[in-house]
Amino acid sequence: MTPPISQADQLTLYYDGSCPLCLAEMEYLKSRDDHSLLCFEDITRQQFIAAEHGIDCAKAMQSIVGKLSNGTQLQGVEVFAAAYERVGLHRLAWVLSRASLQKPLGFMYLQFAKNRHLISKCLGPLALWISRRVTGHKSL
Domain boundaries, the chain: 7-135
pTM of the prediction? 0.85
Give the per-residue pLDDT at 127. 85
Q: Taking a C-beta distance cutoff of 8 angstroms, is the pair 32, 89 a contact?
A: yes
Mapping DSSP to helix (H, G, I), strand (E, B) and coil, where does residue 33 land?
coil
Q: How far apart are CA 118 and CA 116, in angstroms?
A: 5
Q: Angle at CA 96, nearest 5°, toward 2 and 21?
A: 125
Which letter does DSSP use for residue 24 in this model? H
Give the per-residue pLDDT at 80. 96
